[in-house]
Chains A and B, each alone.
Chain A
Amino acid sequence: MSTSLPRRAAVLGVVISLGALTACAKDEPAAKDDGTGPVSVKASDSGCDLSRRDVKSGTSTFSVSNGGSKITEFYVYAEGDRVMGEVENIGPGLKRDLIVELPTGKYQAVCKPGMVGDGIRGDLTVTGDAPAQVDEDALLKQATESYQRYINSQVVALEQQTTEFTTAVKAGDLAKAKALFPVARTYYERVEPVAESFGDLDPKIDARVNDVEPGTEWTGFHRIEQGLWVGNTTKGMEKYADQLLTDVKTLVAKAKIVKLTPLQLANGAKELLDEVATGKITGEEDRYSHTDLWDFQANVEGSQAAVQALRPALQTRDTALVTQLDTNFKAVFAAVDKYREGDGFKSYNLTEAEKKALSQVVDGLAEPVSKVAGVIAKK
Chain B
Amino acid sequence: MTERKGISRRGLFGAAGAAVATGVAGYAAHSALASEPSQAADNTGPVEFHGPHQAGITTPVQDRLHFAAFDVTTTSRDDLIALLKEWSAAAALLTAGRDIGQYGAVNGPDEAPPEDTGEAVGLPPARLTITVGFGPSLFDKRFGLAAKRPKALVDLPHFIGDDLDPTRSYGDIAVQACSDDPQVAVHAIRNLARIGFGRVAVRYSQLGFGRTSSTSRAQSTPRNLFGFKDGTANLKLEDADKLEQQVWVQPEDGPDWMVGGSYLVSRRIRMNIEIWDRTSLGEQEGIIGRGKGTGAPLGKADEFDVIDFNAKQADGEPKIPADSHVRLAHPQFNNGAELLRRGYNFVDGSDGLGRLDAGLFFLAYQRDPRKQFIPIQNQLAKSDTMNEYIHHVGSAIFACPPGVTPGTYWGEKLFT
Q: Which residues of A contact B (CB under 8 A)?
A: 2-4, 6-7, 10-11, 210-214, 267, 270, 274, 277-278, 281-282, 284, 352, 355-356, 359-360, 363, 366-367, 369-370, 373-374
Q: Which of B287, B353, B390 has the most CB of A within 10 A?
A: B353
B385 touches A278 (CB 8 A): no
B385 touches A3 (CB 8 A): no
A270 touches B278 (CB 8 A): yes
A278 touches B272 (CB 8 A): yes
Partner of B354 from the list A4, A11, A211, A356 (CB cut-off 8 Å) is A356
Partner of B381 from the list A4, A270, A367 (CB cut-off 8 Å) is A4
Measured CB to CB, the closest approach of chain B to A109, in angstroms, equals 34
B287 touches A7 (CB 8 A): yes
A373 to B387, alpha carbons, bound, how many Å?
22
A81 to B272, alpha carbons, bound, how many Å?
30
Chain A residue nearest to B161 in the complex (CB): A3
Interface residues of B in 127-166 (CB under 8 A from A): 157-158, 160-163
The residues of A that contact B352 with a CB separation of less than 8 Å are 352, 355-356
> In the complex, given contacts A4-B160, A4-B381, A281-B353, what are 6 additional A-B residue pairs having Cβ atoms less than 8 angstroms apart?
A3-B390, A6-B383, A7-B387, A213-B160, A355-B353, A366-B274
Interface string of B163-202 (1 = CB under 8 A from A): 1000000000000000000000000000000000000000
A359 touches B353 (CB 8 A): yes
B354 touches A360 (CB 8 A): yes
The residues of A that contact B321 with a CB separation of less than 8 Å are 10
The residues of B that contact A10 with a CB separation of less than 8 Å are 286, 321, 323, 385
Q: A4-B160, A210-B162 are in contact. Are A277 and B381 (CB under 8 A)?
A: no
Partner of A4 from the list B157, B275, B387 (CB cut-off 8 Å) is B387
A211 to B388, alpha carbons, bound, how many Å?
12
A213 to B278, alpha carbons, bound, how many Å?
29
Interface string of B282-297 (1 = CB under 8 A from A): 0100110000000000
Q: Can you list 16 residue pairs at the A/B interface with Cβ under 8 Å?
A: A2-B388, A3-B390, A3-B391, A4-B161, A4-B384, A10-B286, A10-B321, A274-B272, A274-B278, A277-B274, A278-B275, A352-B353, A356-B354, A360-B354, A366-B274, A366-B275
- B38 within 8 A of partner (CB): no
The residues of B that contact A211 with a CB separation of less than 8 Å are 160-161
A270 to B279, alpha carbons, bound, how many Å?
9
The residues of B that contact A274 with a CB separation of less than 8 Å are 272, 275, 278, 388
Interface residues of B in 190-222 (CB under 8 A from A): none
Q: Which of A6, A211, A214, A270 has the most CB of B within 10 A?
A: A6
A130 to B286, alpha carbons, bound, how many Å?
45
- B77 within 8 A of partner (CB): no
Q: A4-B160, A281-B353, A356-B354 are in contact. Are A367 and B388 (CB under 8 A)?
A: no
Lowest 3 A-B CB distances belong to which pairs?
A: A4-B387, A370-B278, A7-B385
B275 touches A214 (CB 8 A): no
Chain A residue nearest to B287 in the complex (CB): A7
B278 touches A366 (CB 8 A): yes
Measured CB to CB, the closest approach of chain B to A34, in angstroms, equals 51
The residues of B that contact A11 with a CB separation of less than 8 Å are 283
Chain B residue nearest to A6 in the complex (CB): B323
Q: Which residues of B contact A (CB under 8 A)?
A: 157-158, 160-163, 272, 274-275, 278-280, 283, 286-287, 321, 323, 352-355, 381-385, 387-388, 390-391
Q: Specify the main secondary structure of chain A where it touches its partner.
A: helix
The residues of B that contact A359 with a CB separation of less than 8 Å are 353-355
A235 to B59, alpha carbons, bound, how many Å?
58
Q: Which of A7, A277, A356, A369 has the most CB of B within 10 A?
A: A7
A18 to B202, alpha carbons, bound, how many Å?
61
A214 touches B384 (CB 8 A): no
A373 to B163, alpha carbons, bound, how many Å?
31
Chain B residue nearest to A359 in the complex (CB): B353
The residues of A that contact B163 with a CB separation of less than 8 Å are 210, 284
The residues of B that contact A373 with a CB separation of less than 8 Å are 280
Q: A3-B388, A278-B272 are in contact. Are A212 and B283 (CB under 8 A)?
A: no
A282 to B321, alpha carbons, bound, how many Å?
31
Q: Which of B274, B382, B384 has the most CB of A within 10 A?
A: B274
B353 touches A7 (CB 8 A): no
The residues of B that contact A277 with a CB separation of less than 8 Å are 272, 274-275
Chain A residue nearest to B355 in the complex (CB): A359
A7 touches B323 (CB 8 A): yes
Chain B residue nearest to A278 in the complex (CB): B272
A10 to B280, alpha carbons, bound, how many Å?
14
Chain B residue nearest to A207 in the complex (CB): B160
A6 to B354, alpha carbons, bound, how many Å?
28
A157 to B29, alpha carbons, bound, how many Å?
78
Measured CB to CB, the closest approach of chain A to B161, in angstroms, equals 5
Chain A residue nearest to B321 in the complex (CB): A10
The residues of B that contact A214 with a CB separation of less than 8 Å are 157-158, 160
The residues of B that contact A356 with a CB separation of less than 8 Å are 352-354
B158 touches A367 (CB 8 A): no
A370 touches B279 (CB 8 A): yes
A186 to B388, alpha carbons, bound, how many Å?
22
Q: A355-B352, A355-B353, A356-B353 are in contact. Are A3 and B274 (CB under 8 A)?
A: no
The residues of A that contact B382 with a CB separation of less than 8 Å are 4, 213
Chain B residue nearest to A282 in the complex (CB): B353
Measured CB to CB, the closest approach of chain A to B226, in angstroms, equals 15
A78 to B104, alpha carbons, bound, how many Å?
76
A267 to B274, alpha carbons, bound, how many Å?
16
The residues of A that contact B323 with a CB separation of less than 8 Å are 6-7, 10
Measured CB to CB, the closest approach of chain B to A281, in angstroms, equals 6
A369 to B280, alpha carbons, bound, how many Å?
12
The residues of A that contact B162 with a CB separation of less than 8 Å are 210
Chain B residue nearest to A377 in the complex (CB): B280
Partner of B161 from the list A210, A363, A366 (CB cut-off 8 Å) is A210
A7 touches B388 (CB 8 A): yes
A11 to B163, alpha carbons, bound, how many Å?
25
Chain A residue nearest to B275 in the complex (CB): A274
The residues of B that contact A7 with a CB separation of less than 8 Å are 287, 323, 385, 387-388
A370 to B278, alpha carbons, bound, how many Å?
6
A4 to B391, alpha carbons, bound, how many Å?
10
A212 to B323, alpha carbons, bound, how many Å?
19
The residues of B that contact A278 with a CB separation of less than 8 Å are 272, 275
Measured CB to CB, the closest approach of chain A to B77, in angstroms, equals 35
The residues of A that contact B391 with a CB separation of less than 8 Å are 3
Chain B residue nearest to A7 in the complex (CB): B385
Partner of A367 from the list B161, B278, B279, B283 (CB cut-off 8 Å) is B278
The residues of B that contact A374 with a CB separation of less than 8 Å are 280
The residues of A that contact B283 with a CB separation of less than 8 Å are 11, 267
A158 to B65, alpha carbons, bound, how many Å?
50
A3 touches B280 (CB 8 A): no
The residues of A that contact B355 with a CB separation of less than 8 Å are 359
The residues of B that contact A282 with a CB separation of less than 8 Å are 353
Measured CB to CB, the closest approach of chain A to B227, in angstroms, equals 16
Measured CB to CB, the closest approach of chain B to A185, in angstroms, equals 20
Measured CB to CB, the closest approach of chain A to B283, in angstroms, equals 7
